């Protein structure tokens, strides 16, 4: 059974969070929220879920005077999950891409059958 659309969105959000944590472990949840366009509450919920699942480890900055300064690290399980999620995300995006290519070919054929030239169809695609 394929995942529900909301599951796919959450998986996509998890993948983006894992990618950002790998790049910048010192990033705050607020920065993640801003960078990814996800609400701060959702970022907090997802990070806590990742911590509970053992995919992310969190540590306080030892030298920081701010109690809110944390480092987020991917655990070995987190790296494995990121790799697996990336694979399925790429597979799904490739399928979407191939579907769009086919739809574009069909639309171009319909346009040609209607008497539009290839140049007119390209101009139409760029029109506002």
What pLDDT, on a 0 to 100 scale, did the predictor assign at position 123?
A: 65
What pLDDT, on a 0 to 100 scale, did the predictor assign at position 115?
A: 87
Return d(Cα 22, Cα 79) in angstroms, integer: 9
- In the numeric block, which tokens belong to residue 14? 């998890």
Return d(Cα 114, Cα 23) in angstroms, integer: 50
Give phi and psi for 63, each to the nearest 5.
-90, 0
What pLDDT, on a 0 to 100 scale, did the predictor assign at position 4?
A: 47
Nearest to 38 by CA among 57, 51, 19: 19
CATH number, domain 5-126, options 3.40.50.10480, 1.10.10.10, 1.10.579.10, 3.90.780.10: 1.10.10.10
Domain ranges of the chain: 5-126
What pLDDT, on a 0 to 100 scale, did the predictor assign at position 124?
A: 62
CB 56 within 8 A of CB 73: yes
Return d(Cα 32, Cα 18) in angstroms, integer: 10
pLDDT by residue for the chain (128 residues), tens only, comes to 455 444 555 788 999 999 999 999 999 999 999 999 999 999 999 999 999 999 999 988 765 555 567 899 999 999 999 999 999 999 999 999 999 999 999 998 999 899 887 666 666 656 55
What are the residues whose beta carbons fall under 8 Å from the beta carbon of 107, sequence distance 6 or more? 121
């Amino acid at each position: 059974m394929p995942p529900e659309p909301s599951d796919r969105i959450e998986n996509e959000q998890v993948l983006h969070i894992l990618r950002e944590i790998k790049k910048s472990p010192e990033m705050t949840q607020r920065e993640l929220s801003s960078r990814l366009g996800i609400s701060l509450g959702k970022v907090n919920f997802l990070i806590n879920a990742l911590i509970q699942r053992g995919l992310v480890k969190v540590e306080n900055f030892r030298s920081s005077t701010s109690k809110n300064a944390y480092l987020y690290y991917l655990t070995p399980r987190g790296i494995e999950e990121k790799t697996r999620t990336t694979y399925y995300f790429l597979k799904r995006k490739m399928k979407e891409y191939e579907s769009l290519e086919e739809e574009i070919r069909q639309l171009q054929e319909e346009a040609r059958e209607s008497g539009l030239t290839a140049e007119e169809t390209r101009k139409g695609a760029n029109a506002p």
